[in-house]
């Protein structure tokens, strides 16, 4: 019997069981899906990022179709072992912006706090694959990180990420959020997670009770493809939204996974129905072995130009590059400004028609 055939058992909805029974080896994976030669070769090689998939997410994978987008996001391919020009294990230079372990202080008024390097499911294009599941990093670093935030009154916003923060126990999250909420200059706390997508049963009533105590709390969820929006994920997002937590999504633009207007439009529309506002669409970071995932920037600009105006403004995320070398996120927009003529500001609308505004 394989691990996804127990879908109707009571254990299935226990998030700790899901974590304990993650698919970590080629043997376990080949019991549930038919691997092609390239996937097998990749799985037998010495991967920079190991394999890890929750049974729940594995149950969304197509047994036969190796071209299925969801398969590509979590099953290694041989191309991962090819490093190309411009790639780097820490492309955003996060380590250089880290004053104490786990804190990345790039912008003046906010910090990224990497609270754990554990994640339930490993995305093959993970920006932080360099730290994911590496035992030695981030042990007992919370106290010094919190002390850093306390002693810097310019920090008003803490973004808790990892790894995946929602894989921590309720008790630990309760303590952590309590510590941060007690700092007078912290106005805003947010959590970055993929849990509602890869481990939706983690969104328990008790977790909701804990999170609700620390408002204003926002959550940004990593969504990749419309096939991820299942009844389980919808239920998890609705429970979070009902707890008054504003939800956003972050999506990485990935070749042959979601680099298509119809796929992304469908994803963004579905997200609005479960009260998740598309926040960022990321150009894929140039981590080692990512060339098979990266699209030309023109692809992203074209997608945005086909969304803006053609659909609900809420369904159009900000398309950004996180600047390699640590420059921060930079917004990329299709060109709409044409310049100035006789005091009039000239610009194009979504259909490409030229309009002018008296700008004297
Ligand atoms: C993305 C990011 C943030 C948050 O950026 P926003 O644009 O405010 O969402 C903060 N710090 C770091 C290091 C980041 O990478």
Domain residue spans in the chain? 3-78, 94-331
pLDDT attached to residue 142 = 95
Global confidence as pTM:
0.96
**Rounded CA separation 307/278 (Å):** 12
Determine whether the shortest distance from the Cβ of 104 to ligand 1 is under 6 A.
Answer: yes
Q: Which of 110, 194, 265, 270 is catalytic?
A: 110
| Residue 110 phi, psi dihedral angles, 5° rounding | -150, 155
**Rounded CA separation 297/321 (Å):** 9
Distance 50 CA to ligand 1 centre (A): 26
Distance 159 CA to ligand 1 centre (A): 7
Q: Contact, 360 vs 348, CB < 8 A?
A: no
Distance 248 CA to ligand 1 centre (A): 13
Average pLDDT over residues 301-318: 98
Determine whether the shortest distance from the Cβ of 112 to ligand 1 is under 6 A.
Answer: yes
Instruction: Look at domain 94-331 and name its CATH class.
Output: alpha beta
Q: pLDDT of 2-45, one tens digit each? A: 888 878 788 999 999 999 999 999 999 999 999 999 999 999 99
Q: Which atom of ligand 1 is nearest to the CA of 104?
A: 13
Active site residue 329: yes
Q: pLDDT of 128-138, one tens digit each? A: 998 886 766 66
Contacts of 220 (CB under 8 A, 6+ apart): 190, 191, 192, 193, 247, 248, 249, 250, 279
Active site residue 202: no
Which pLDDT band holds residue 339 (cuts at 50, 70, 90)?
very high
Distance 246 CA to ligand 1 centre (A): 17
Q: Is the pLDDT of residue 127 over 70?
A: yes
Active site residue 36: no
């Amino acid at each position: 019997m394989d691990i996804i055939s127990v879908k109707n058992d009571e254990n299935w909805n226990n998030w700790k069981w899901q974590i304990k029974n993650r698919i970590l080896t080629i043997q376990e994976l080949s019991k549930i899906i038919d691997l092609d030669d390239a996937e097998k070769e990749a799985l037998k090689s010495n991967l920079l990022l190991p394999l890890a998939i929750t049974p729940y997410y594995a149950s969304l994978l197509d047994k036969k179709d190796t071209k299925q987008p969801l398969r590509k996001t979590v099953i290694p391919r041989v191309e991962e072992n090819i490093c190309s020009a411009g790639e780097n294990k820490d492309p955003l230079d996060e380590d250089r912006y880290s004053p104490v372990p786990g804190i990345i202080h790039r912008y003046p008024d906010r910090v990224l706090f990497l609270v754990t390097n554990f994640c339930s499911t490993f995305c093959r294009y993970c920006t932080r694959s360099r730290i994911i599941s590496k035992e030695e990093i981030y042990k007992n670093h919370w106290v010094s990180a919190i002390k850093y935030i306390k002693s810097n009154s310019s920090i008003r916003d803490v973004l808790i990420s990892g790894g995946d923060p929602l894989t921590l126990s309720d008790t630990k999250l309760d303590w952590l959020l309590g510590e941060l909420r007690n700092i007078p200059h912290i106005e805003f706390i947010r959590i970055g997670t993929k849990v509602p997508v890869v481990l939706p049963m983690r969104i328990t009533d008790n977790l909701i009770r804990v999170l609700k105590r620390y408002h204003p709390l926002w959550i940004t969820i990593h969504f990749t493809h419309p096939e991820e929006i299942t009844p389980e994920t919808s239920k998890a997002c609705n429970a979070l939204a009902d707890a008054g937590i504003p939800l956003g999504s972050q999506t990485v633009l990935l070749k042959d996974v979601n680099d298509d207007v119809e796929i992304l439009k469908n994803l963004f529309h579905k997200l609005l129905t479960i009260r998740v506002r598309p926040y960022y669409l990321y150009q894929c970071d140039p981590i080692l072995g990512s060339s098979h995932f990266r699209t030309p920037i023109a692809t992203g600009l074209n997608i945005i130009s086909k969304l803006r105006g053609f659909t609900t403004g809420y369904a159009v995320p900000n398309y950004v590059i996180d600047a390699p070398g640590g420059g921060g996120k930079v917004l990329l927009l299709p060109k709409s400004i044409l310049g100035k003529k006789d005091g009039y500001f000239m610009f194009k609308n979504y259909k490409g028609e030229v309009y002018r505004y008296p700008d004297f």
